[in-house]
C-alpha cells in the first residue's frame, strides 16, 4: 500500500490532505473532529489582533451548475471572530493531543513590524508546526490594508515575510492571493523574504449572483451586498495553472508549494501534486459534505498510486511540471483526427452542429430513413476535439493521432513564423 | 430550407440495423449500468450523513461511501467498501429486493419518488473488481483454530469467509454437488445470469483457508456432536431443506403437480432450459417470491397461461409490490383471495384446482367455489426447516433454530444463521448472520470478552 505521508517544508503529516484556513478550522471542536476523521493537517482559521472582527449574516453565495450545488462558492466572511487568547489556548491543546498531525496557524495583523513582533511569540508558544501568512483575503480585510492589499504588493510581501522569519523560528508559508496579474511576482517576493513555502490560491474576487428582487449582489445583507471571495470546484483550473506557473519558475526552484482551490476528490489532489504541490488544502468540499470525505480521498489516492506503482507522494510530485510548457514549445506537426465509434453513437447530432456552426464543417450526416449516421470528414478535421467534448457518450469520439514522420516542429521553427530560428537543436 | 452541404443520403451500413436481438428469456433482469450511466447515477447521491439507506441495508454497507467512490472513479475503493461488509455484494446487488430495503429508504425517493439506483451501482463496482480478478482481502496470520461450517449457502460461506480473513481455517460441509445454496439452486435464472453464483463463490474462495467437502450431510455421515468436539466452533447454515405440501394431496401425487422450489432447481441446473416442458396452463399456489419466480420462469419457458392463486390480498403477499407488477408485465395473472380445496385429476394427471373464495383480509372461506383448469400445478406455500435427526439438537422454536444476538444456538459453540433461523428469508440477511456469527466466533477463539 502506498505511503501517503509528507514532509512539507519540514512539517510532517501522515497524508498530504490538509484543511485550508477557514470556518472548518476555526475551533478546537472542528479541528479535533477533522483529525478524528483522518485529515493529515490543518491551517487554523486566520488569527488577528484583538478586538476580534465582527461577521455579517448571511455570508455565502453559491453557483449551482446543472443541478449540482456549490459548483462555485463565495463568502464575505472575515478572519476569526473569536478572541486571540481563546484560539491560542485551543491550538496548544490540539497540538499536544495530536502530535502527528500538521498544525499551521494562519495570521493576519496590520502591516507594521510591531504588530507582527507582538503576535509571533505568542503563536510560537502554542507549539504549532508553522505559520501561514494570509495575504489573500480579497474582501473586508484588504480595505483595512491587510490581506489581499498586502498580497498585491510584492515589496510588502517580502517585508512581512522577513519580519516573520526574524521574529520567530517557525516555518513560514506565504499564502498568495490570485487577484494579481502575475502570480510569480508575490511568490518571488516571498522567497526573497525568506519564506519556507507558499500556498495558493486564496479566493478570487467575485460577485456570484445578483438578487433581482432586492437588486443587490448575493449574499444579501439587509438589502445590500458586497464582493466576495470565490472558491470551490469552479476555481480549480485557475488554481492549477497558478500552482504550475510557480512550479516551473526557475527562480522559485526548491520552494515547496501547498495547492489550494476547488479540491474535492483524490483525483483533484493528484493533479495538484503532479503539478508540483507537496501538500493540498481543502475548504469548500468539506463545507459541502463534511470531514468524512477524507476517507475516500485517502483511499482513492492510495489505490491510484498502487495501480501506477507510486510508492510515495514524492514519487509523482511535480511529474507533470516538465510537460507544462509554453505554447511555442508544442509540436505543430502533431496531428489528430476525430473518430466516431458508430457502435456507441446515439445519433444526438451534437458533434455535427458544433463542428458545422462553430468550427470546420468536418462532420457529415448520412441520412437513412429516420436514422442518421455521423462521420468525420478526415480531410477537413483539424483535430480541435470540440466534438469529443460535446459528445454525451464517453469514448464515442476519440482523437486518433496520425503518424507523422517528421521530427517535432514548433512555432519557433515554423516557416510561417517571421522570427523563426532554424532548427539547430 | 437549404440542407447543409455535408448532409448526404446514403444507405446505412449493416452495423446500424442489428441493434435489436439481445435479451431472451434468461437475459439479465436489470442489465448493468454503462460507465456514463453509473457516473450520472452516482452523482445523484447526496452523500447523506447518517444515511437512511445504510440503516436499511441488513449488512450495513456504507452506501454513500461506496457511491462517492464510484463518482470519483475509485472503483476498487467502491468495491472494497461494499465487500468489507458483504462478501456477497455481487449477488445481493442482483437479488436484493432493494424496493423494500436500501432504495426504499433513499432520501431521493422521498424527494422525487426516484431513489438512487443503489443496487445497480453496487453491481457496477463489484463487477469491476471481479472482472479484473482482484483479490482485495488478505488473511490475518494463522490462528491455528479450526471451524466447521455446515451448508455452503450465503450464510455458511459468508461466515467461512470472515473467519478465514481472521486467520482461522474453515471446513465447509455441503450435501449438494455445487456450492452457493439457493444462489445456485433457487434464485430466478434471470437474476443471476452467466453462472454468477459459481463465479462469486470462486472469487470468495480465492482468499484461501476455506475447504469445501461436498456430499457431506449433517445427520447422515456427520454427527453434530462430533463436529462440536473436533472443531473449535460450528456454524449451521442449513437453509430450509423442506417444502410445505398441500394438505389434501393424496399419496402418490398425480403427474403435473410439483413443488416450485424443486422446479426452479431443475431449471437452474438444466444444461439447456429450453428443453424443459413448463406445462401449457400453469397454476402456482402461493404468494411469496418463490411463487413469482416459478410463475415468471414458467411463462418464459413458454407456458401459455400462468396464474398465481393466493389466498389473501395484494398487501399480504410475501412478494413485494414491485415483484407483483413485474409478474403481471410478464403476462402472469394474479388472483387473490383463493383458498385451494382440492385437485381435479384426470387419468392420473392434474387437470385443475378447486378453490373457495376467501373473505377479504382472511383465509376464511366465504362460500363461492371456483375451479381453474391446469395441466401443471406448482406449490409455493413455504419452505420448512427439516432438521435432520441429530445426536445433539439445538433448541428449535416456531420451526426455526433459536439463536441469541451472536447467532449462538442453545448448544455452546454451535452457531446458526440464514434461513434456518428466524428472520427475513433473504440472501442479504443470511450474509449478515454469517458475518455476525463469524465475528462472535472470532472473539470467542481469541479470548476477547463480550
Ligand atoms: C425460489 C427462491 C427465490 C428466492 N429469491 C430471492 C431473491 O430474489 N432475493 C433474495 O434476497 N432472496 C431470495 N430467496 C431467499 C434466499 O435464497 C435465501 O434467503 C438464502 O439463500 C438463504 O441462505 P442460507 O445460506 O441460509 O440457505 P441456503 O441458500 O438454502 O443454503 C443452505 C445450504 O445448506 C445445505 N444443507 C442443507 N442441509 C444440509 C445438511 N444437513 N448437511 C449439509 N448441507 C446441508 C444446502 O444444500 C445449501 O447449500 C429466494 C429463495 C427461493 C427459494
Ligand atoms: C467561508 C470561507 C472563509 C475563509 N476564510 C479564510 C481565512 O480566514 N483565511 C484564509 O487564509 N483563507 C480563507 N478562506 C480561503 C480558503 O482557505 C481557501 O483558500 C479557498 O476557499 C480555496 O479553497 P477551496 O476551493 O477548497 O474552498 C476562506 C474560504 C471560505 C469559503
Ligand atoms: S448552517 Fe447552521 S449556523 Fe448556518 S444558517 Fe444553517 S443552521 Fe444556521
Ligand atoms: S455527439 Fe456523439 S453520440 Fe451524438 S451524434 Fe455525435 S458521435 Fe453520436
Ligand atoms: S439515502 Fe439516497 S441520496 Fe442519501 S446517501 Fe443513500 S443513496 Fe445517497
Predicted pLDDT of residue A142: 65
Instruction: Assign B23 a pLDDT band (cuts: 50, 70, 90).
Output: low
Instruction: Assign A420 a pLDDT band (cuts: 50, 70, 90).
Output: confident
Name A314's Cβ contacts closer than 8 Å, sequence gap at least 6: none
CB A171 within 8 A of CB A132: no
CB A263 within 8 A of CB A274: no
pLDDT of B7 higher than 70: no
Predicted pLDDT of residue B367: 78
Mean pLDDT to the nearest integer, B6-33: 54
Cβ of B63 closer than 6 Å to ligand 5, yes or no, is yes
Contacts with B, A 208-237, CB within 8 Å: none
CA pair distance A283, A175, nearest whole angstrom: 14
Predicted pLDDT of residue A46: 97
Mean pLDDT to the nearest integer, B401-408: 98
Residues B83-113 have pLDDT tens digits of 999 999 999 999 999 999 999 999 999 999 9
H-only helix segments in B147-212: 154-165, 182-185, 196-205
pTM for the structure as a whole: 0.91
C-alpha pair distances (Å), A116 with each of A9, A164, A168, A253, B83: 21, 7, 10, 28, 54
CA pair distance A418, A413, nearest whole angstrom: 10
Cβ of A363 closer than 6 Å to ligand 4, yes or no, is no
Atom of ligand 5 nearest to the CA of B64: 5
- Residue B207: CB atoms within 10 Å: 17
- Residue A34: CB atoms within 10 Å: 25
CA pair distance B224, B173, nearest whole angstrom: 12
pLDDT of A195 higher than 80: yes
Per DSSP, chain B holds a count of helices (H) and strands (E) of 16, 18
Instruction: Assign A145 a pLDDT band (cuts: 50, 70, 90).
Output: low
Cell 460461506 -> residue: B157
Structure-block grid coordinates of residue A4: 501517503
Predicted pLDDT of residue B164: 98
pLDDT of B11 higher than 50: no
Residue A191 parent element (H or E): helix A184-192
CA of A339 to the centre of ligand 4 (A): 11
Structure-block grid coordinates of residue B228: 462440536
Instruction: Assign A377 a pLDDT band (cuts: 50, 70, 90).
Output: very high
CB B257 within 8 A of CB B377: yes
CA of B182 to the centre of ligand 1 (A): 4
pLDDT of B2 higher than 90: no
Mean pLDDT to the nearest integer, A279-306: 98
Structure-block grid coordinates of residue A50: 484583538
Share of residues in chain B with pLDDT > 90 (%): 86
Q: Does B9 touch chain A (CB under 8 A)?
A: yes
pLDDT of B5 higher than 80: no
Residues A317-365 have pLDDT tens digits of 999 999 999 999 999 999 999 999 999 999 999 999 999 999 999 999 9
Mean pLDDT to the nearest integer, B106-123: 97
User: DSSP letter at A186?
Assistant: H
Task: Determine, for residues B68 and A394 on separate chains, whether the beta-carbon distance falls below 8 Å.
Answer: no
What sign does the dihedral B24-B27-B33-B36 (CA atoms) show? Answer: negative
Predicted pLDDT of residue A111: 87
Predicted pLDDT of residue B276: 86
Instruction: Assign B17 a pLDDT band (cuts: 50, 70, 90).
Output: very low
Predicted pLDDT of residue B15: 30
Task: Determine, for residues A368 and B47 on separate chains, whether the beta-carbon distance falls below 8 Å.
Answer: no
* A118-122, B11-15, B290-294, range with the lowest pLDDT: B11-15
Residues A397-415 have pLDDT tens digits of 999 999 776 789 999 999 9
| Burial bucket for residue A226 (CB in 10 Å: 0-12, 13-18, 19+) | middle
pLDDT of A40 higher than 60: yes
Q: What is the mean pLDDT of chain A?
A: 95
Instruction: Assign B13 a pLDDT band (cuts: 50, 70, 90).
Output: very low
**Helix, strand, coil: what percent of chain B each, to 5?**
35, 20, 45
pLDDT of B21 higher than 60: no
Query: At CA B365, angle to CA B359 and CA B369, rounded to 5?
Result: 105
pLDDT of A144 higher than 80: no
Residues A48-64 have pLDDT tens digits of 999 999 999 999 999 99
CA of A104 to the centre of ligand 3 (A): 27
Mean pLDDT to the nearest integer, B224-253: 92
Predicted pLDDT of residue B356: 93
Task: Give which of A80, A76, A70 is closest to A30, Cα–Cα.
Answer: A80
pLDDT of B1 higher than 50: no
Residue B47 C-alpha, separation from nearest chain A C-alpha, in angstroms? 7
Q: Which domains does chain B have, with CATH numbers?
A: 35-131 (1.10.1060.10), 146-241+385-446 (3.50.50.60), 243-382 (3.50.50.60)
Instruction: Assign B3 a pLDDT band (cuts: 50, 70, 90).
Output: very low
Instruction: Assign B278 a pLDDT band (cuts: 50, 70, 90).
Output: confident
Amino acid at each position: 500500500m502506498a505511503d501517503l505521508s509528507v514532509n512539507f517544508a519540514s512539517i510532517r503529516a501522515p497524508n498530504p490532505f490538509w484543511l485550508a484556513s477557514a470556518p472548518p478550522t476555526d475551533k478546537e471542536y472542528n479541528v479535533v473532529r477533522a483529525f478524528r476523521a483522518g485529515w493529515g493537517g490543518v491551517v487554523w482559521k486566520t488569527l488577528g489582533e484583538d478586538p476580534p472582527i465582527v461577521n455579517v449574516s448571511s455570508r455565502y453565495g453559491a453557483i449551482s451548475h446543472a443541478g449540482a450545488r456549490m459548483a462555485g462558492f463565495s463568502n464575505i466572511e472575515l478572519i476569526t471572530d473569536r478572541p486571540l487568547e481563546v484560539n491560542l489556548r485551543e491550538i496548544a491543546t490540539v497540538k499536544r493531543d495530536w502530535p502527528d498531525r500538521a498544525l499551521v496557524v494562519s495570521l493576519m495583523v496590520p502591516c507594521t513590524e510591531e504588530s507582527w513582533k507582538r503576535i509571533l511569540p505568542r503563536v510560537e508558544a502554542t507549539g504549532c508546526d508553522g505559520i501561514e501568512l494570509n495575504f489573500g483575503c480579497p474582501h473586508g480585510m484588504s480595505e483595512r490594508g491587510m490581506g489581499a492589499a498586502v498580497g498585491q504588493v510584492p515589496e510588502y510581501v517580502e517585508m512581512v515575510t522577513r519580519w516573520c522569519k526574524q521574529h520567530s523560528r517557525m516555518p513560514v508559508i506565504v499564502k498568495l492571493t490570485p487577484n494579481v496579474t502575475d502570480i510569480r511576482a508575490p511568490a518571488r517576493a516571498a522567497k526573497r523574504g525568506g519564506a519556507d513555502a507558499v500556498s495558493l490560491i486564496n479566493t478570487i474576487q467575485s460577485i456570484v449572483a445578483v438578487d433581482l428582487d432586492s437588486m443587490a449582489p448575493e449574499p444579501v445583507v439587509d438589502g445590500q451586498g458586497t464582493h466576495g471571495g470565490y472558491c470551490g470546484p469552479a476555481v480549480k483550473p485557475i488554481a492549477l495553472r497558478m500552482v504550475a506557473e510557480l512550479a516551473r519558475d526557475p527562480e522559485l526552484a526548491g520552494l515547496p508549494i501547498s495547492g489550494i482551490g476547488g479540491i474535492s476528490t483524490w483525483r483533484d489532489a493528484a493533479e495538484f501534486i503532479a503539478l508540483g504541490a507537496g501538500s493540498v488544502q481543502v475548504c469548500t468540499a468539506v463545507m459541502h459534505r463534511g470531514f468524512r470525505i477524507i476517507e475516500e480521498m485517502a483511499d482513492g489516492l492510495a489505490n491510484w498510486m498502487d495501480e501506477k506503482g507510486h510508492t510515495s507522494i514524492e514519487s509523482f510530485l511535480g511529474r507533470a511540471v516538465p510537460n507544462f510548457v509554453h505554447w511555442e514549445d508544442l509540436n505543430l506537426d502533431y496531428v489528430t483526427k476525430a473518430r466516431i465509434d458508430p457502435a456507441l453513437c446515439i445519433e444526438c447530432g451534437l458533434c455535427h452542429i458544433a463542428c458545422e456552426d462553430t468550427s470546420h464543417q468536418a462532420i457529415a450526416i448520412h441520412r437513412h430513413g429516420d436514422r442518421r449516421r455521423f462521420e468525420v470528414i478526415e480531410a477537413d478535421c483539424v483535430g480541435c476535439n470540440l466534438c469529443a467534448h460535446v459528445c454525451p457518450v464517453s469514448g464515442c469520439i476519440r482523437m486518433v493521432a496520425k503518424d507523422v514522420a517528421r521530427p517535432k516542429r514548433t512555432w519557433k521553427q515554423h516557416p510561417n513564423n517571421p522570427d523563426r530560428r532554424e532548427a539547430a537543436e | 430550407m437549404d440542407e447543409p452541404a455535408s448532409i448526404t443520403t446514403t444507405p446505412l451500413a449493416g452495423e446500424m440495423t442489428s441493434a435489436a436481438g439481445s435479451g431472451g428469456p434468461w437475459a439479465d433482469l436489470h442489465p448493468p449500468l454503462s460507465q456514463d450511466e453509473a457516473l450520472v447515477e452516482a452523482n445523484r447521491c447526496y452523500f447523506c450523513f447518517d444515511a437512511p439507506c445504510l440503516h436499511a441495508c441488513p449488512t450495513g454497507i456504507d452506501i454513500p461511501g461506496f457511491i462517492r467512490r464510484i463518482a470519483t472513479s475509485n472503483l476498487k475503493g467502491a468495491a472494497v467498501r461494499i465487500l468489507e461488509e458483504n462478501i456477497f455484494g455481487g449477488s445481493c446487488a442482483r437479488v436484493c429486493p432493494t424496493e423494500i430495503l436500501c432504495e426504499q429508504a433513499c432520501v431521493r425517493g422521498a424527494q422525487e419518488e426516484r431513489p438512487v439506483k443503489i443496487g445497480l451501482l453496487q453491481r457496477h463496482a463489484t463487477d469491476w473488481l471481479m472482472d479484473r480478478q482482484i483479490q482485495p482481502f488478505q488473511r490475518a496470520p494463522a490462528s491455528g483454530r479450526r471451524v466447521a461450517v455446515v451448508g455452503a449457502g450465503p450464510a455458511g460461506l459468508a461466515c467461512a469467509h470472515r473467519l478465514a480473513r481472521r486467520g482461522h481455517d474453515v471446513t465447509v460441509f455441503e450435501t449438494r454437488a455445487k456450492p452457493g445454496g439457493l444462489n445456485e439452486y433457487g434464485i430466478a435464472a434471470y437474476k443471476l445470469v452467466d453462472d454468477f453464483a459459481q463465479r462469486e463463490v470462486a472469487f470468495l474462495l480465492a482468499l484461501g483457508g476455506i475447504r469445501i467437502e461436498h456430499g457431506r450431510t449433517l445427520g447422515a455421515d456427520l454427527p453434530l456432536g462430533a463436529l462440536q468436539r473436533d472443531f473449535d466452533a460450528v456454524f449451521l447454515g442449513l437453509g430450509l431443506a423442506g417444502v410445505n405440501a398441500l394438505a389434501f394431496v393424496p399419496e402418490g401425487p398425480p403427474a403435473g403437480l410439483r413443488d416450485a422450489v424443486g422446479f426452479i432447481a431443475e431449471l437452474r441446473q438444466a444444461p439447456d432450459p429450453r428443453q424443459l416442458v413448463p406445462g401449457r396452463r400453469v397454476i402456482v399456489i402461493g404468494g411469496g417470491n418463490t411463487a413469482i419466480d416459478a410463475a415468471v420462469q414458467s411463462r418464459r419457458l413458454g407456458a401459455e397461461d400462468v396464474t398465481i392463486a393466493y389466498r389473501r390480498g395484494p398487501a399480504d403477499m410475501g412478494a413485494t409490490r414491485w415483484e407483483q407488477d413485474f409478474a403481471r408485465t410478464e403476462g402472469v395473472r394474479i388472483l387473490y383471495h383463493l383458498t385451494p380445496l382440492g385437485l381435479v385429476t384426470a387419468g392420473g394427471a392434474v387437470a385443475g384446482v378447486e378453490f373457495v373464495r376467501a373473505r377479504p383480509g382472511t383465509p376464511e372461506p366465504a362460500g363461492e367455489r371456483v375451479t381453474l383448469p391446469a395441466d401443471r400445478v406448482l406449490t409455493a406455500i413455504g419452505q420448512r426447516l427439516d432438521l435432520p435427526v441429530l445426536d445433539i439438537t439445538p433448541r428449535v422454536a416456531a420451526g426455526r433454530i433459536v439463536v441469541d444476538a451472536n447467532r449462538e444456538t442453545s448448544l455452546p459453540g454451535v452457531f446458526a444463521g440464514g434461513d434456518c433461523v428466524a428472520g427475513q428469508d433473504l440472501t442479504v440477511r443470511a450474509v449478515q448472520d454469517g458475518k455476525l456469527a463469524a465475528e462472535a466466533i472470532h472473539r470467542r477463539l481469541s479470548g476477547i470478552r463480550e
